[in-house]
């Protein structure tokens, strides 16, 4: 009787599913998941949101928060003990972690690495390392182009107010930024405003005296100014534009922004892709340029929205545009800023 009772109980149990064998292939715990980590280094502005990158599909993901100084030891420990086969690293400036990432990728050749950063650096060629970042030349071109739109709006307002055009003076602080970035900036500026009036910000005072810049309506910086330079600029104008990768001071009216947060999720998808490949990729997002919408006119916002759509596909067009500048403009840029 006891054996009959057990058999009847089993039949009753399976009857709930049609009195047949269970479909093992439909049981999700049977699916093997790959493991990945997203490493948030020093909280970049596009930093990963834990909920947004939580495990989905066939990828189980954990977010790890660390610093550039501690990343190597922390990630190396995880890779040695947790069976992770993919790493996405989010960082503002890739130069702060390049050596650590190179060592990790070399020590763990079976793990794929994707570095997502606002600003790029020079990477070693490794078959398991892919990088994605904004292109500094394209950012500089975009900033220059949008400044020209902003200046055009000011000229239009002066014309309606005074009955004639007043071309504002733009002060350009001589920069140690790479030559290509500076040339890209000027190519963008003169593309949208061929009449732009640019003068160098060079102190009118002699050595040993406080910095005194000529009168300008706005100023442009391509690298971080010194505290004394910032103070001298502020004494002349409250309108500062920047294409520098780092700027400490009042937020520029138009300047570099950051990647979209979706880039981290895209990198996770890239880890699983059959078409995954190593190498460097330059991208541009709507968030890649920062606009102070309380100051800039709507024409600048609209121009950026249109420009961003095509800029990534025509990233090197600034070179031809710089080469096509009028001879007088090219001569001025060469003599005053060393750009030829």
pTM metric for this prediction: 0.85
Domains of the chain: 29-134+259-285 (3.40.50.2300), 137-253+292-337 (3.40.50)
Using pLDDT thresholds of 50, 70 and 90, give the confidence band for residue 167. confident
Q: Exposed e or buried b for every residue in 199-219, given b needs 16+ CB within 10 A?
A: eebeeeeeeeeebebeebbbb
The mean pLDDT value of the chain amounts to 87
At residue 315, the pLDDT reads 66
Percent of the chain with pLDDT over 90: 72
Q: What is the mean pLDDT of residues 36-64?
A: 80
Radius of gyration of the chain (CA): 28
- Tokens 């610093």 sit at which residue? 67
Is residue 30 predicted with pLDDT exceeding 50? Answer: no
The residue among 3 and 270 whose pLDDT is bigger is 270
Q: Which pLDDT value is given to residue 164?
A: 65
Q: Give the list of residues 6+ apart from residue 49 with CB closer than 8 angstroms, or none.
A: 261
Task: Supply the pLDDT for residue 29.
Answer: 44
Please choose, from the candidates 80, 119, 128, 126, the residue with its C-alpha nearest in 3D space to the C-alpha of residue 97.
119
User: How many other CB atoms sit within 10 Å of the CB of residue 238?
Assistant: 12
φ and ψ at 212, to 5 degrees? Answer: -135, 110
When pLDDT is cut at 50, 70 and 90, the band that residue 247 belongs to is confident
């Amino acid at each position: 009787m006891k054996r009959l009772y057990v058999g009847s109980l089993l039949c009753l149990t399976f009857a709930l599913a049609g009195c047949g064998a269970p479909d093992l292939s439909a049981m999700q715990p049977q699916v093997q998941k790959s493991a990945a980590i997203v490493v948030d280094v020093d909280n970049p502005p596009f930093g990963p949101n834990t909920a947004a990158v939580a495990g989905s599909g066939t990828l189980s993901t954990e977010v790890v928060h660390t610093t550039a100084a501690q990343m190597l030891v922390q990630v190396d420990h995880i890779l040695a003990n947790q069976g992770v086969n993919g790493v996405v690293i989010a960082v503002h400036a890739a130069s702060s972690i390049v050596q650590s990432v190179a060592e990790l990728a070399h020590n763990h050749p079976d793990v794929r690495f994707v570095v997502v950063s606002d600003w790029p650096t020079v990477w070693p060629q490794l078959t398991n390392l892919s990088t994605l970042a904004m292109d500094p030349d394209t950012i500089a071109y975009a900033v220059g182009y949008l400044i020209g739109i902003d200046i055009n709006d000011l000229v239009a307002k002066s014309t309606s107010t005074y009955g004639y055009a007043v071309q504002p003076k733009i002060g350009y602080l001589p920069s140690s930024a790479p030559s290509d970035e500076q040339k890209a900036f000027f190519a963008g500026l003169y593309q949208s405003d061929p009449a732009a009036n640019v003068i160098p910000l060079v102190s009118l005072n002699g050595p040993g005296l406080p910095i005194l810049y000529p009168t300008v309506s706005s100023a442009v910086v391509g690298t971080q100014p010194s505290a004394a330079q910032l103070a001298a600029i502020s004494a002349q104008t409250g309108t500062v534009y920047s294409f520098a990768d780092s700027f400490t001071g009042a937020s520029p009216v138009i300047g570099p922004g950051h990647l979209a947060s979706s880039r981290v999720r895209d990198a996770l998808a890239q880890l699983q892709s059959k078409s995954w490949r190593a190498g460097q990729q330059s991208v541009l997002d709507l968030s890649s340029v920062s606009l102070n919408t309380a100051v800039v006119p709507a024409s600048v916002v609209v121009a950026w929205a249109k420009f961003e759509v095509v800029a990534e596909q025509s990233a090197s067009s600034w070179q031809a545009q710089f080469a096509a500048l009028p001879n007088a403009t090219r001569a001025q840029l060469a003599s005053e800023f060393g750009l030829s």
